[in-house]
Structure 1
Amino acid sequence: MNDTTAHALSACRTLWELVDRRARLTPGRPVLLQGDRTLTFGALRERAERVAAGLYGMGVRPGPVVAWQLPTRIETAVLSFALARLGAVQSPVIPFYRDREVGFALRRSRAEFFASPGAWRGHDHTAMARRLGAKGVFEAYDRLPDGDPSVLPAPPAEGTAVRWIYWTSGTTSDPKGVLHTDRSLIAGGSCLAHALRLTPADVGSMAFPYAHIAGPDYMVMLLLYGFPAVMFEHFAMARALAEYRRHGVTVAGGSTAFYSMFLAEQRKRPGGRVVPSLRLLAGGGAPKPPALYHSVVREMGVQLTHGYGMTEAPMITMGDPHDTAENLATTEGRPPRGMEIRIVDGEVRLRGEAVCQGYLDPAQTAAAFDPDGFLRTGDLGRLTRSGHLVLTGRLKDVIIRKGENISAREIEDLLATHPAVGDVAVIGLPDPERGELVCAVVEQPPGAAELTLPDLVSHLRSAGLSVHKLPERLEVVAALPRNDTLRKVLKYRLRERYSGTVK
């Protein structure tokens, strides 16, 4: 019954229609949990309408862009849905970003309003916004604009207009403004929701910035299936565990880095369950070594499903909890109905409702889509006979040594099985004789024996790796550089660090 309802709701034209229909179905059920606070589906609709009226009184209308740089709080979700009620164009900005990224987003989006958390975690966002010349700056942390909903015009009736501008991470160049519609976000969230086989009895968690594309992805899932999620304003595993246990979280995750953090906590408690209620870890955003999947399932006693998504298409494929261990360990799952995947010269290309409309820069849009309307992802992969997607690396992450192409991902997956390797990034470094040499940058787990290059090479040889792919250099670091959203490893920083040094 609930699954039928969820599939019916996934046909909603707009996000506001989805909020309204869920609120009518289960007004008293909780949707967001944070500390001692609870927001129900009914209260989400009511508060969002009042905030929409307050924003309307400030001059917010459909068309002009409202940028917001807010932490993962109940108020942030309410403000975002209030803007959806108005049909305004909104541009979420990750709260960890500073002058360069925020200034770029404000300029390129031509935002007419900017919602700030004020002074948050030692940084004055309001002062930064004014320094950058932001227009219509207002603070939206504990207090939100308020008004009488009777003044509001009718909500938007269609969901195919661009109403969202999300920003790529900008790890190698300026960020790109990615254009989404309500329908593309609903389609992406529906893929996640249906693939994970969730029920109203589940309790989820948001351990990532709400301003990330995963924010609406996750909210759509909650609205479709009518269950709540715990929100973390700033995620720290030690403190988060108490909240997971307190609220009986059944589904958690975020990305590969989160799986590793859970596993590390579990290993501190052999013989027990780190979160007794937990039954499923799920996420995406970064490669998952097969060895990590097997370790999580064996040691934590939970299932792990991994997916594939990007800012341009928030959910492309997702693992099914009922799939085989082999598929869950070695693939990214299968695409949902409506998502077409085409492999062209090894590159994964996409077409479907969940795919973005393009970029703010028309030239970037023209370069990103092929003549058939498929998005070029820059990811390398293949489809199995059963339709599962296997990612093998990035076009920009192929190491060319003496004319031979080497997949960094293949080496990383094998190194992840070494007991002295906690996490690893394999990169190509310039070499005058070979073109590029293979360098492994390793983060070791606590208490591990010191890793040497001969140890590493011996391990890879025993795993059957071809000789020409063996690393010629090893760097051991205290921590790999990561971004602030899904904790992806920033390989460009490693290349910058080690390209100018010779060993």
Structure 2
Amino acid sequence: MNDIARALGASRTLWELADRRADLTPGRPVLIQDDGPDHRTLTFGELRERAERVAAGLYGMGVRPGTVVAWQLPTRIETALLTFALARLGAVQSPVIPFYRERETGFALRESKAEFFAVPGVWRGFDHTEMARRLGAKGVFEAYDDLPDGDPAVLPAPPAEGTSVRWIYWTSGTTSDPKGVLHTDRSLIAGGSCLAHALRPTDGDVGSIAFPYAHIGGPDYTVMLLLYGFPAVMFEQFALPDALAGYRGHGVTIAGGSTAFYSMFLAEQRKQPGKKVIPTLRLLAGGGAPKPPEVYHAVVREMGVQLTHGYGMTEVPMITMGAPDDTPEMLATTEGRPPEGMEIRVVDGEVRLRGEAVCRGYLDPGQTSEAFDADGFLRTGDLGHLTGSGHLVLTGRLKDVIIRKGENISAKEIEDLLHRHPAVGDVAVIGLPDAERGERVCAVIEPAAQPPGAGELTLAAVTSYLRAEGLSVHKLPEQLEVMDALPRNDTLRKVLKYKLRERYSGTVE
């Protein structure tokens, strides 16, 4: 991290960080909105100036320091302006993923006790304003093209400290019930600093935000832009191949999101082997979901770019990250190293965390007390170990350990092997209740596109392949399910294993 970025990273609040960056490079772009043939650009100076006017408009509506404001908005410049306006006021923000509907949105509004709710109106054919009214939301206002506006002279002084809880994020839906995660400005700045430290961007880079800005990755990425003074292209609707024109036209150098994004870029690359799908791209980076080693090797081999994958969660936006100068083996098989200030402790195989980027806990005090151990380390529920070089290797989830006849089986080990099979597009391995064995191993496969005449995926073919790969006999799947598309969440496209367990728990061999 360079000296300027390190100094900016010491900012007490997100508003102070934005203010200091605007002083340094007011005319440089920070956000570029890709709207197909047209685009809009926001500079660092305009971010500060316009966010203050929006803050004044919100102040006129009754938003004060500590007021809880929920927002359910797409990845747009206006969304970023609203978040920085709320940061300027010192309000408490509760971002809600725009794909969520009554159940999740209503839960977030009730639990956060939101006093205002910003929505996009009718977006992608769905009327968010009408849903908000059905839910009885308070202070509903639309914030898509038009934002509140006012004279900044009315504003009180900006918040002076960044250690109060001012963010309520919601776990992203890989379990059936979301949890309200409490963050501070400082924890988000620390998370973004971790990401920036690992990726080592320059002010000549062009990033991309193709995931929901309401995800914890939104502030994570924006902090990196503020620290290093480079822009990112925002994609309100990400779909390939349509979005490729935006990546190419704006000269994106850093792209990614999660493993699902890597696979989508690879699929496009394979349509024209040997011709770079994004000529300016030098780095794919992301996290939030496991990365099979084969995906790393395929990206480097076929796309001709580096891939650095990391480990993060809503509770801790950035924990470890692969670095561009790590060896290929490290990048393929580990999640990278923790940055300065992130402590990792492995207890009985479980990864535990302590540091400034760790959340303050949950809205539910009972969940908070269960999540932290006596030394203040967050229990992640992830299994792993540290290598001699300090790199973290994840081996699965506590709940993904399948106990068959008393023997522990890692779902991830089987998944990594099946990802190498040419007929497998994606796979999830789960444990299902079994009266005789306690649990049985079930592999649920999303098939890859296959040429006509390719063999059908069968349980016998899958187990034969795994035997040849050296998997122990007691770990072989005893049930195979094939589905056109695995169920995923709407943020980083994580597979929803709880839905698979619900669907197949009643099936028999």
Q: Does TM, scored on the shorter chain, surpass 0.5?
A: yes
Instruction: Say if 2:331 is the partner of 1:328.
Output: yes
Match in the other structure for 1:447: 450
TM-score (norm: length of structure 2): 0.97
Instruction: Say if 2:183 is the partner of 1:177.
Output: no
RMSD across aligned positions (CA): 0.9
What are the equivalent positions in structure 2 for 1:341-352 lying under 5 Å apart?
341-352=344-355
Q: Is the 8 A contact 1:170 1:176 kept in 2?
A: no
Q: Is the 8 A contact 1:422 1:442 kept in 2?
A: yes
2:487 and 2:137 mapped to 1: Cα distance? 30
Q: Is the 8 A contact 2:253 2:282 kept in 1?
A: yes
Match in the other structure for 2:490: 484
Letter in 2 for 1:284: G
Q: Is the 8 A contact 2:8 2:17 kept in 1?
A: yes
1:494 and 1:472 mapped to 2: Cα distance? 16
Q: Is the 8 A contact 2:174 2:495 kept in 1?
A: no
Q: 1:340 aligns with which of 330, 334, 343?
A: 343
The CA deviation at 1:404 is 0.2
Q: 2:470 aligns with which of 454, 457, 464?
A: 464
1:495 and 1:85 mapped to 2: Cα distance? 44
Tell which deviates more after alignment, 436-445 or 282-291.
436-445
What secondary structure does 2:298 align onto? helix
1:493 and 1:137 mapped to 2: Cα distance? 32
The CA deviation at 1:96 is 0.5
Instruction: Say if 2:507 is the partner of 1:501.
Output: yes
The CA deviation at 1:459 is 1.7
Match in the other structure for 1:369: 372
What secondary structure does 1:62 align onto? coil
Match in the other structure for 2:267: 264
Match in the other structure for 2:308: 305
Q: 2:298 aligns with which of 262, 280, 295?
A: 295
Q: 2:224 aligns with which of 212, 221, 225?
A: 221
Match in the other structure for 2:30: 31
Output one character per residue of 1:207-228: Cα deviation in whole Å (capped at 9) or x when no partner: 1100000000000000001111
What are the equivalent positions in structure 2 for 1:225-264 lying under 5 Å apart?
225-264=228-267
Output one character per residue of 1:335-370: Cα deviation in whole Å (capped at 9) or x when no partner: 010000000111000000000000111111111100
1:210 and 1:172 mapped to 2: Cα distance? 21
Structure 2: which 5+ residue stretches go unaligned? none
2:231 and 2:491 mapped to 1: Cα distance? 22
2:27 and 2:165 mapped to 1: Cα distance? 32
Letter in 1 for 2:291: K
2:355 and 2:378 mapped to 1: Cα distance? 9
Letter in 2 for 1:233: E
Match in the other structure for 2:402: 399
What secondary structure does 2:465 align onto? helix
Tell which deviates more after alignment, 334-343 or 2-11.
2-11
Letter in 2 for 1:212: H
Sequence identity (%): 83
Instruction: Say if 2:148 is the partner of 1:145.
Output: yes
The CA deviation at 1:399 is 0.5
Match in the other structure for 1:12: 11
2:219 and 2:134 mapped to 1: Cα distance? 30
The CA deviation at 1:174 is 2.3
The CA deviation at 1:464 is 1.1
Tell which deviates more after alignment, 409-418 or 457-466.
457-466
2:125 and 2:466 mapped to 1: Cα distance? 45
2:109 and 2:440 mapped to 1: Cα distance? 40
What secondary structure does 1:282 align onto? strand
Q: Is the 8 A contact 2:384 2:392 kept in 1?
A: yes
Q: Is the 8 A contact 2:176 2:498 kept in 1?
A: no
Output one character per residue of 1:216-260: Cα deviation in whole Å (capped at 9) or x when no partner: 000000000111111011111111111000000000000000000
1:467 and 1:289 mapped to 2: Cα distance? 22
Runs (4+) off by over 2 Å:
169-174
Match in the other structure for 1:281: 284
The CA deviation at 1:334 is 0.4
Tell which deviates more after alignment, 466-475 or 370-379.
466-475
Q: Is the 8 A contact 2:351 2:382 kept in 1?
A: yes
The CA deviation at 1:49 is 0.4
What secondary structure does 1:134 align onto? coil
1:455 and 1:7 mapped to 2: Cα distance? 54
Q: Is the 8 A contact 1:206 1:230 kept in 2?
A: yes
TM-score (norm: length of structure 1): 0.99
Q: Is the 8 A contact 2:445 2:481 kept in 1?
A: yes
Match in the other structure for 1:473: 479
Letter in 2 for 1:133: G
Q: 2:164 aligns with which of 161, 182, 189?
A: 161
Q: 2:56 aligns with which of 28, 37, 53?
A: 53
The CA deviation at 1:446 is 1.2
What are the equivalent positions in structure 2 for 1:186-205 lying under 5 Å apart?
186-205=189-208
The CA deviation at 1:382 is 0.5
